[in-house]
Structure 1
Amino acid sequence: MAISKAFIASLLISLLVLQLVEADVEVSNKKNGPYGPKIDCGTACIARCRLSSRPNLCHRACGTCCTTCNCVPPGTYGNYDKCKCYAGLTTHGGRRKCP
């Protein structure tokens, strides 16, 4: 009887520890994002859209893409090979969503 109570107690403690570890991993994923450490999308999109003829549209699209992919290609145009997720997002019409 004493062994079964000890076994049940240790099982409950193990489940509690497992739950705490899982919660810690989830919090760190929210901090870092699924694609690594979070980047500052605002600054990255300002750099990306600085030469755009439609800066408000560019910032809005870039911000959405950056939040989804957690990356923005360097420069003001192109360099999509540096951020595959960013390059892969498309509109309903099949055009690139991200500037």
Structure 2
Amino acid sequence: MGLVALAAGICCCTGTFSAIGEAWICSHAIDGIARNPEMYGKLRSTMILAVALDESTAIYALIVAILIIFVLPSMF
């Protein structure tokens, strides 16, 4: 069970890095809007798309962690 917990913990680290990536994306989008306010619509839509793609990584990591915890031990 120890290695299963370790593997699930490593998968959960992906969620942390995903949150850091989302913060970086939003920060740079806000900087771009502050420098060039007329590009608000285009930057906002690009930011939303980038955050959605980044969030999907965290969701996939969560699914893998759940599968590791509940499915993997029953296979052996």
> If you compute each CA radius of gyration, which structure gives the higher value, 1 or 2?
1
Query: Per residue, is there more helix in 1 or in 2?
Result: 2
Superposition TM-score, scaled by structure 2 size: 0.49
Superposition TM-score, scaled by structure 1 size: 0.40
Q: Which has the higher contact order (CA 8 A, sep 6+)?
A: 2
